[in-house]
Amino acid sequence: MDISVVVPAKNEQDNIDPLITEINRALTGHYEYEIVYVDDGSTDETYQRLADIQQNQPNLKIIRHKVSVGQSTAVFNGVKNSQGSLIATLDADGQNDPADLPKLIDAAKAQPQYSHFCIAGYRKNRSGDNSWKRWQSKVANQIRQALLDDETPDTGCGIKVIPRETFIALPYFDHMHRFLPALIKRRGGNIEVIEVNHRPRLSGTSNYSFSNRALVGLVDLFGVIWLKRRYKRAEIIETNHES
């Protein structure tokens, strides 16, 4: 299978059907793919909406958490239970446009075989967000880039394409999804940034606020700096298996 589209979702009942419809429209006839939704302890009808759709869409896989454990764990469990050689991630609120998936997937397929890489979406035009949210994002991205040198102007953008083997090899920790380019670059991977569409949330309200993004993110930022400084890559020039 080419692609596993992994979508972490918490209380997104009204966004399930339209987003899956858009994913199918973008990928059907072009790639062999599956959609892996991870219901992260939703208290609304998210799981039931998924189960109803699954009856007529066998390539939809559902993983359900008993309680909410956060987006990073949801994505990680989705990847572990996926079959695609490439992982495409999308936020469940509809702000990422599935129509952008083909250009990220094609860029991934152009990468050298067996290499580590991340094709990262960049929301250059965020006119739909208010000025306070845009300012938060701009400051956070500037600080992160200065400290991590992750070559990504918008790591908070949920749409990315990464080889499954690369993702599984990354160190797992809560909130790791915010630092995927830095973690992949740490392993010598290539980072390619592609401009993508950014839309208003289809329905519902965000699960995040400035406090639960910024304060937790600051702690994680220093943790990733620690990881980068302690990782060493060896260039193997010979392997001899003769007995």
Predicted local confidence at residue 23, as pLDDT: 98
Length of the chain: 243
Residue with tokens 């993508």: 196
Predicted local confidence at residue 1, as pLDDT: 77
| Domain ranges across the chain | 3-229
Q: What 3-state class would DSSP assign to 119? A: strand
Predicted local confidence at residue 27, as pLDDT: 98
Predicted local confidence at residue 88, as pLDDT: 98
Fold of 3-229: Spore Coat Polysaccharide Biosynthesis Protein SpsA; Chain A (3.90.550)
pTM comes to 0.83
Predicted local confidence at residue 220, as pLDDT: 77
Predicted local confidence at residue 87, as pLDDT: 98
Predicted local confidence at residue 203, as pLDDT: 74
DSSP secondary structure of 31-91: --EEEEEEEES-SSSHHHHHHHHHTT-TTEEEEEESS---HHHHHHHHHHT---SEEEE--
Q: What average pLDDT values come out for the chain (243 residues) when binned by 10 residues?
A: 95 97 97 98 98 97 97 96 97 95 97 93 75 66 70 87 96 90 91 92 63 60 74 67 62
What is the Cα 86 distance to its own chain's centre? 12
